[in-house]
A = this chain, B = another copy of it.
Amino acid sequence: MTGRAELPSVVSIREVGPRDGLQNEDPVPTDGKVRLLDALSRTGVRRIEAVSFVHPKAIPQMADADEVWARASRASGVRYSALVPNSRGAQRALAAGFTEIEVVVSASDTHNRRNVNRSTAESLDDIAGLIDLLHSAGATAEVIVATSFGCPYEGDVDPARVAGIVDRVVADGADRVAFGDTTGMATPRRVRELVTAVRDRQPDIPVLLHFHNTRGTALANLLTALELGITEYDASVGGLGGCPYAPGASGNVATEEVVHMLHDMGIETGIDLDALLEAAALAEELVGRELPSGVLRAGPRSRLTAV
């Protein structure tokens, strides 16, 4: 019998379905992407990762990023962000008007090489230049550290290695960092170890966590991070995204599962769950497969069965 860690009263969700979600699904027509973005902008969510500016041959799912963004009805209370892989993408994102931009590096060398044919250290050098480019254009730079809780090729990733990456990008001017559980290898223990390792060395950098539900632990991980005072989380409407390493397995945690749990715990998100469930139903329609969202399937706990 032990005491209770005090939990935050407000959590900031970044909805990543339109970018991270759709990028890992079969291509969806431009019109559908715009409809999904607009539906999400009406949910009350305060941050949306809208698109990525990547080479269309590498990621055909995002080939129409400029058009999607131009046609989207942007809500005034929402911060929209874009992901870029390099300076060419950064220039496109800036030209499109984005002022919050994300770049990615993998904590494990093997994963980074598989993604971009570079070592982690080489990518960090590139990112230093990207941060300067973004800052000189008045945008902020977030560094997403993929495979932060484990690598599908290498296995465990030492939290000290991740903390060292954070040291480097903070020194290079990163405005914020995010830790991606790229293939669902995080557990409450790994979350505690990583957050503690990073906070010990960089107590001031804003931290966002990105969990996958591949092995069922997403909300347990989120609860652990809440107890550690972390208040920023990615989530993907409907659980859009899948897991590229395990066909048929879940990827991104579903936004409605996160919001449903947080609201029942008295933690505010600003999101209207009913509006979010409408967006999740649209997401399911757009990708044409059943999405791995328990709250979409069963409804919120407040939805009663007639006697």
**A residues bordering B, Cβ < 8 Å?**
1-6, 110, 114, 150, 152-155, 183-185, 187-190, 192, 199, 213-220, 222-224, 227-229, 243, 245-246, 248-250, 253-254, 257, 260-261, 264-266, 290, 293-295, 297-302, 304-307
Contacts and interface: CB of A to CB of B under 8 A. Distances in A.
Contact of A229 (B2, B295, B297): B2
A217 to B, nearest CB: 5
A94 to B, nearest CB: 35
A298 B185 CA distance: 10
Rank and list the top 6 A-B pairs by shortest CB-CB distance, nearest first: A246-B298, A216-B257, A2-B5, A219-B220, A249-B298, A185-B301
A150 B229 contact: no
A222 B253 CA distance: 18
Report whether over half of chain A's contact residues are helix, strand or loop; otherwise say mixed. Answer: loop
A59 to B, nearest CB: 20
A215 B248 contact: no
A86 B245 CA distance: 49
Total copies of this chain within the assembly: 2
Given A188-B261, A215-B260, A298 B243 contact: yes
A184 B216 contact: no
Contacts of A223: 188, 220, 223-224
Contact of A227 (B2, B155, B264): B2
Given A294-B214, A297-B249, A228 B152 contact: no
A238 to B, nearest CB: 12
Contact of A215 (B110, B250, B266, B295): B295
Nearest to A262: B187
B294 A249 contact: yes
Counting chain B CB atoms within 10 Å of each CB, the highest count among A153, A229, A293, A304 belongs to A304
A266 B192 CA distance: 13
Given A215-B294, A249-B294, A304-B155, A228 B2 contact: yes
